[in-house]
Amino acid sequence: MQEVTIHDKTFEVLIAANDIQQRVAQIAADINENYAEKKPLFLGVLNGAFLFAADLFKNISVPCEISFIRVSSYQGTQSSGKVKSLIGLNMDINNRHIIVIEDIVDTGDTMQYLLAELAQKNPASVKLATMVFKPEALKHPLQPDFIGFTVPPDFLVGYGLDYDGLGRNLNDIFILKNNA
Ligand code: IMP
Ligand code: MG
């Protein structure tokens, strides 16, 4: 499938499913090499990261655990804008080696908040694995430790990423067509 229309917009393939799977396997190999004795705890960020988390996890061969969290974002009553909260962290991460699994780091607002929240709970280490990184959109001094693909700051769908709820089930990652 080279093009797909979702709601009112047309997208074209940016990263093919095969390339995604190969890259995920490379990231897993890197983690396997560096976390042999660490029993890492993966924290997948719902909803978007569920496919990346599953594919990555299938390629992990060292003893490890996984859990899923959510960063909810709602409009505060103050003019300060969006208020975030961390939901679903029901494990003690004290002294654990954490690998956060995210679908995409865009402005970095979500990760900036999440990494600060996790740091307060005294983990042994926290690393960030993101499938997609948009450095040109980044507003915070953060650097993902494991990056699937670095992309331009355009809107993407597929492989967990949605456009207004749709498109998460696409196996390729698609980018908004220029003239769409
Ligand atoms: P942030 O701007 O880095 O905080 O990204 C927040 C969230 O926006 C991500 O976790 C995604 O769910 C969503 N997002 C950012 N860029 C895209 C995109 O290109 N397509 C779909 N969702 C996106
Ligand atoms: Mg997300």
Instruction: Give the pLDDT band (50/70/90) at residue 14.
Output: very high
Tell me if 78 is assigned to some domain. Answer: no
Q: Which residue has the higher pLDDT, 180 or 128?
A: 128
Amino acid at 54: A
**Per-residue model confidence (pLDDT) at position 77:** 57
**How far apart, in whole angstroms, are the C-alpha atoms of residue 118 and residue 100?**
10
Mean pLDDT taken over the chain:
94
Q: Does residue 121 carry a pLDDT above 70?
A: yes
Placement of tokens 């207004």 in the chain: 164
Q: What is the pLDDT of residue 82?
A: 74
Which of 4-8, 49-53, 82-86, 101-105 shows the lowest mean pLDDT across its residues? 82-86
Within-domain flag for 49: yes
Choice from 161, 170, 172 to test ligand 1 binding pocket (greatest atom count within 8 A of CB): 161
Distance (angstroms) between ligand 1 centre and the Cα of 110 equals 9
Q: Contact, 177 vs 16, CB < 8 A?
A: no
- Ligand 1 center to residue 36 CA distance, Å? 31
106 is catalytic: yes
With respect to residue 89, please indicate whether it lies within any of the assigned structural domains: yes
Residue 5 reports pLDDT greater than 60: yes
* Residues facing residue 150 across a β-bridge: 133
**Other CB atoms within 10 A of residue 12 CB:** 15
Number of domains in the chain: 1
Indicate whether 164 belongs to any domain: yes
Q: Is residue 22 part of a domain?
A: yes
pLDDT digits (tens, 9 = 90+) for 37-93: 999 999 999 999 999 999 999 999 999 999 999 999 876 655 555 778 999 999 999
Q: What residue numbers bound the domain in which 10 lies?
A: 3-73+83-176
| pLDDT per residue as tens digits for the range 156-179 | 999 999 999 999 999 999 999 986
* CA atoms of 13 and 10, how far apart (whole Å): 10
- Give the gyration radius of the chain's Cα atoms: 17
CATH number at residue 27: 3.40.50.2020
- Is there a domain that residue 123 lies in? yes
What pTM was computed for the model? Answer: 0.95
pLDDT tens string 139-161: 999 999 999 999 999 999 999 99
Whether ligand 1 lies within 6 angstroms of the CB of 130 is answered as no
Q: Tell me what pLDDT residue 42 has.
A: 98
145 CB burial (10 A radius; 0-12, 13-18, 19+): middle
Task: Give the closest residue (by CA) to ligand 1 atom 12.
Answer: 48
Q: What is the 3-state secondary structure (H, E, C) of the chain?
A: CCEEEECCEEEEEEECHHHHHHHHHHHHHHHHHHCCCCCCEEEEEECCCHHHHHHHHHCCCCCCEEEEEEEEEEECCCCCCEEEEEECCCCCCCCCEEEEEEEEECCCHHHHHHHHHHHCCCCCEEEEEEEEECHHHCCCCCCCCEEEEECCCCCEEECCECECCECCCCCCEEEECCCC
Domain assignment present for 13: yes
